[in-house]
Amino acid sequence: MLKEERFEAILLRLQRTQKVLSADLSQELRVSEDTIRRDLKELADAGLLTKVHGGALPKSTLPLSFRDREHYAEREKGEIARKAAALPVNGQLIILDGGTTTLQIARLLPESLRATVFTNSPPIALQLADHPGVEVVLAGGKLLKGARVTVGAETIETFRGLRADWCMLGVCSLHHEWGLTLPDREEAQVKGAMIRAAAQVVALASADKIGPVESFVVAPPGEIDLLITDAATPAGVLDRYRALGIEVR
């Protein structure tokens, strides 16, 4: 089998199973484990998967910049945002993570809602500036320009002192074993602080964000209370999260 054929076989199996083991690939493709390890490294260097000890996991292929993501999967994000926007009630404190799905939630919060929103997203703060009943607190810090969020010690300190009712997280990548992951270390640290500050953690993930794994871990899957996704997510995939005690909508 040519190297290119092995690459294709590895990526197809990874797409189907969400995880590959070097030992299994070695037997299936009839090559040594050293060859498989080299193949996985080359595929990881090309950004096509995430290499882990003993195998590999899928890597997100979603656009990373906020501007590109705004028009990506708009229908699915709208479906998710409508479900999430109905959760808060009067008097609650809500953390809205920066992202294009959480921005849609901000747009959909009913005018009758009386609540406080903490966010590290300037676009969300601006969106809620005209909301008649929502007090808005924007966390300071360094602006991560591509993601349109603030990061760093100052941002983390804002969330460290909170006890919010809801933390609504835009998801880059969610895996049933590795949990929430991101390609940026500083953003992952901020999201981790948000999770620790909330009584209920909501992960907002369209179908294509469930399965991939990025370099930096935000939190294990057990720290998620509710997963809101769109109708395209296969039931078998969602059963993995229900088995962990996560409510799925």
Q: What is the pLDDT of residue 31?
A: 92
Going by the DSSP 8-state scheme, the letter that residue 229 receives in this structure is -
The three-state secondary structure class of 211 is coil
The fold adopted by the segment(s) 66-248 is: Rossmann fold (3.40.50)
The three-state secondary structure class of 5 is helix
pLDDT at 144 over 70: yes
What are the sequence ranges of the domains in the chain?
Answer: 3-58, 66-248
Measured from the Cβ of residue 218, the count of other Cβ atoms closer than 10 Å reads 27
pLDDT tens figures, 193-233: 999 999 999 999 988 889 888 889 999 999 999 999 998 88
* Within this chain, domains 3-58 and 66-248 share the same CATH topology: no
CA-closest candidate to residue 201, choices 183, 218, 176: 218
**Mean pLDDT taken over the chain:** 90
Going by the DSSP 8-state scheme, the letter that residue 243 receives in this structure is T
Which carries the bigger pLDDT value, residue 14 or residue 104?
104
pTM of this prediction? 0.78
Greatest mean pLDDT range, 6-20, 102-116, 210-224: 102-116
Share in percent of the chain as helix, strand, coil (round to 5): 40, 25, 35
Q: What is the pLDDT of residue 66?
A: 61
Architecture of domain 3-58: Orthogonal Bundle (1.10)
Going by the DSSP 8-state scheme, the letter that residue 18 receives in this structure is S
